[in-house]
Structure 1
Amino acid sequence: MAGSALSIERPGTRGVDPLRIAVVGTGGWGAQHARVVTERIDTERVGVVGRDPSRTAARAAAYGARGYTSIGGMLEAEHPDLVMVSLPNEEHFAPTLELLRAGVPLLVEKPLVFDLGEADAPLHAAGDTFFGINVNHRDAEPVRRAWAAIQAGELGDLVFATWRFGGEANRGPSPHANLIETQCHGFDMLEHPCGPISSVAAQMTSMAYGDFSTVALALEFASGAVGTLLGSYDSPYAYPDTQRLELNGIAGRAVIHDTVRALTLQSVGDDTERVWRAGYFDDEARSFERTFNRHLDAVLAALRAGSPPPVPASAGRRAPPPLAPRPPPPRAPRFTAMPCVSANTVRRTARSLPKRTGSWAPQPMSPCRRSIRRKRSGSRRSSHTMRSTVQPAARRRSSRFFSSMTTSSAELPAARSAARYFFSPSNSSTMRRSGQQKSTRASHNPSSTMSTWSSGC
């Protein structure tokens, strides 16, 4: 019953030499780093580094390690195989850079840094050194099961994904703490199943206490799928579904509730929803803290095999590249540009053209137009002479414009072309013989009067 409350087996790989691991940081989540190393049978705790001597000594004694107040002193004395960094969010940069320049394999807590300008320095300093980042939501049991369903094709191609994560504020010097420190989990959990994000549009509010405590993002993925991310420090963790991830594909849907609480799966056309929840004794799958144990399993396996970390530190730097302006999609013209000519010229020229079959016959009245006609009590206007009520102002402007024009011999070729266009069989569905003023494809742009309206003949 491994992983349950009744299990007494320590995690880790048996029959291998233990890896020597040091932890930098003595805060709350730093205690989780010390815990996961202590519980394993394939790791040895060799040092804890902190700034406060008394606090560092207490943490080291609690986990059977030696305490240090400088990274350099710890490296010189212990020669660790791996160093794990868990410091206040805005203070990762300098210690991370110092460790990488020493060539030590490294696992850092998120976020990598708060300033994008600082993000490249540790990545360049790492070179080929093992350099991973801890984003452990993807190691939760519901997430693993949802990923397995995607890999098995149960959801089909993903079309959209939505992430929602709220909780009490974790304030710091940066006004973007929510987006960078907390919602980095959202970016990882969206890109893990959907692929890279190609574009982002954002709305943020600072109405609660001055920082941008709630953000709403609209996302586009390179795959063509779309998504949303809502992250808030103005919504407590006590609310049900404070964290919720929906993955919607063409064949089905997966919804992850509160990271570790539940997974629901449903197929298109099936009214039955399948639900996974941790069993009575399955405390390991029910605990969020244990997702870190699972992540460290993968980290240590990769380190021993000489492989890249399961989540490389470069994932903490990702930002969409600047996007070039997108040209509008190609679209066939809906109307042919015609020269402006007098309405009388068009009418006289049209009468001189040979009549073509189908272009002059009165058109049958559609049900919609019959309904309109019935509502106009006392009206005896035929269907093909009814005037459209769309854009009366544009109609009046168009009529005044045409009536102000005069006919000259220079206008005759343009008028002949206009008449052929408006009264050819191919356009009989658009313009009727009697000069009906409504086009079935008329633009609602008042400036497009030539495309939309014509004077009666």
Structure 2
Amino acid sequence: MNAIINGVNCRIVCGRLSYKLNCLRSETMDKKMRFAIIGCGRIAPKHAESIVALEEAELVAVCDIIPERAQAFADKYGAKPYTSYEEMLAKEEIDVVTIATESDLHAPIGITCAKAGKHVMVEKPMAMTLASADELIRTCHEEGVKLSVIHQNRYNKSIKLMRQALEEGRFGKLTHGQATVRWNRNDAYYAQAPWRGTKLQDGGVLMNQSIHNIDLLQWTLGPVESVFGYTRTALRKIEMEDVGVAVIKFKNGALGVIEAASTIYPKNIEETLNIFGETGSVMVGGIAVNRIETWEFPDSEEEKKQIFDSQENDPPNVYGFGHREVMKDMIDAIREDRTPAIPGEEGRKALEIILAIYKCQETKEPVVFPLSE
């Protein structure tokens, strides 16, 4: 009899617990995710525009150390301005923080936000060293919050089509690939802020402009075995490189080539990703890897025509169209309690490649992975 009673009581308790969990889950699904942005500079409008365009989200607060910039940004997007992100975290009810400051602050600010119980979205590069990237990843895991690195080009329509073909095995054995960024960043661009182009706070064209494309190359061709590269400061008055080239050997035997330049005259020309395999060739071009230029697989003529007929136009700038989908993925990851599509571990991979290229400038030798800083 006691066993029966205990069993009934257990079912009642479990039922109540299940009911509470379902209520909490329903509440999470119904409420809007409250976002805050730290850093109101060059890329921040893409964050704000993406957040306010999502029905599931609202922008509640923004922060910048320049009061006038914080106020103007807040007025434009209907948020509350702050000049101290610590004060903002303490006063506002925030679910997700996006970090768009100078690069060396990404990891420390992300760590502070994670310790405050906020989910973290961080611009590229996620950190300036592997040690700080690992600390950010570890802290988010320990605090039970989500971490997403904003590599929005993974959501380009062209890249999603290429990725689908890859996952279906249509390339066969991968042979090689090339990631190219040919853009213009003149002296006026670097003069906008004293940290631009510096070793400790920003990096050069590889770390700042080409990192998205390097992310796509490694995402496609797989884990890295070794890297060798050269960098040069050819034209710009900066501490780090404005031109960089490198070769990568991947663990699956494929080879990769990286070319990055912010010296292109007179304006941005292209960002391209070319992937070649035993039974497939895809070349993605445009201003920001947004347009398929070559699509060759066995019996792909009809498919190719459909793809070319539905091509997107070039975006208005090199930032592309993918930020909204990155934000949407974070919302879904929170609601579904899953890992974001581009977690910290993924953002770390491109960072490791770039740091390895920088190390080559010191050692004059190929760097075998994993990289030891």
Q: Give TM-score, length-normalised by structure 2.
A: 0.75
Structure 1 stretches lacking a partner, 5+ long: 1-14, 325-457
The 1:266–1:238 alpha-carbon spacing in structure 2 relative to 1, beyond 3 Å, is farther
Aligned to 2:68, the other structure's residue is in SS state helix
The one of 213, 220, 223 equivalent to 1:186 is 213
Would the aligned equivalents of 2:108 and 2:136 in 1 still touch at CA under 8 Å?
Answer: no
The 1:200–1:75 alpha-carbon spacing in structure 2 relative to 1, beyond 3 Å, is same
Task: Give the match for residue 342 of structure 2.
Answer: 311
Task: Give the match for residue 39 of structure 2.
Answer: 25
Q: Which amino acid aligns with 2:129?
A: D
Query: How many angstroms does 1:33 deviate by?
Result: 0.9
Task: Give the match for residue 53 of structure 1.
Answer: 67
Task: Give the match for residue 11 of structure 2.
Answer: none
Q: 1:321-332 counterparts in 2 under 5 A? A: 323=368
The one of 210, 213, 220 equivalent to 2:242 is 213
Q: 1:25-44 counterparts in 2 under 5 A? A: 25-44=39-58
CA distance in 2, matches of 1:141, 1:317: 24
Q: Which amino acid aligns with 1:46?
A: V
Task: Give the match for residue 204 of structure 1.
Answer: 231
Q: RCO higher in 1 or 2 (8 Å CA, sep ≥ 6)?
A: 2
Would the aligned equivalents of 1:47 and 1:67 in 2 still touch at CA under 8 Å?
Answer: yes
CA distance in 2, matches of 1:130, 1:278: 38
Does residue 249 (structure 1) correspond to residue 277 (structure 2)? The answer is yes
Query: How many angstroms does 1:150 deviate by?
Result: 1.9
1:81-125 CA-to-partner distances (Å, cap 9, x unmatched) read 111111123332332222122231100101112234433332232
Q: Which amino acid aligns with 1:323?
A: V
CA distance in 1, matches of 2:340, 2:183: 29
CA distance in 1, matches of 2:330, 2:208: 21
Q: Which amino acid aligns with 2:105?
A: E
Query: How many angstroms does 1:189 deviate by?
Result: 0.4
The one of 322, 325, 329 equivalent to 1:291 is 322
Q: 1:20-419 counterparts in 2 under 5 A? A: 20-127=34-141, 128-169=144-185, 171-174=196-199, 176-209=203-236, 211-236=240-265, 238=267, 240=269, 242-258=270-286, 259-267=289-297, 274=304, 276-277=307-308, 279=310, 288-318=319-349, 319=352, 323=368
CA distance in 1, matches of 2:82, 2:92: 10
The 1:277–1:123 alpha-carbon spacing in structure 2 relative to 1, beyond 3 Å, is same
1:247-281 CA-to-partner distances (Å, cap 9, x unmatched) read 1010010010121133420136999993634759x
CA distance in 2, matches of 1:20, 1:278: 39
CA distance in 2, matches of 1:295, 1:44: 15
CA distance in 2, matches of 1:90, 1:202: 23
How many aligned residue pairs are there? 309
1:108-159 CA-to-partner distances (Å, cap 9, x unmatched) read 1011122344333322322242111101111111111111222233322211
Q: Which amino acid aligns with 1:222?
A: K
Aligned to 1:255, the other structure's residue is in SS state strand
Would the aligned equivalents of 1:205 and 1:215 in 2 still touch at CA under 8 Å?
Answer: yes
Task: Give the match for residue 365 of structure 1.
Answer: none
Q: Give TM-score, length-normalised by structure 1.
A: 0.62
Q: Which amino acid aligns with 1:163?
A: A
Would the aligned equivalents of 1:165 and 1:231 in 2 still touch at CA under 8 Å?
Answer: yes
Would the aligned equivalents of 2:54 and 2:328 in 1 still touch at CA under 8 Å?
Answer: no
Q: CA RMSD in A?
A: 2.9
Task: Give the match for residue 366 of structure 1.
Answer: none
1:215-272 CA-to-partner distances (Å, cap 9, x unmatched) read 11111111121111111112258464x2111110100100101211334201369999
The 1:278–1:87 alpha-carbon spacing in structure 2 relative to 1, beyond 3 Å, is farther
The 1:26–1:131 alpha-carbon spacing in structure 2 relative to 1, beyond 3 Å, is same
Aligned to 2:322, the other structure's residue is in SS state helix
Would the aligned equivalents of 1:261 and 1:278 in 2 still touch at CA under 8 Å?
Answer: no
Percent pairwise identity: 21
The 1:247–1:272 alpha-carbon spacing in structure 2 relative to 1, beyond 3 Å, is farther
CA distance in 1, matches of 2:223, 2:253: 10
Q: Which amino acid aligns with 1:213?
A: D
CA distance in 2, matches of 1:304, 1:285: 30
Query: How many angstroms does 1:79 deviate by?
Result: 2.1
Structure 2 stretches lacking a partner, 5+ long: 1-28, 191-195, 357-366
Larger radius of gyration: 1
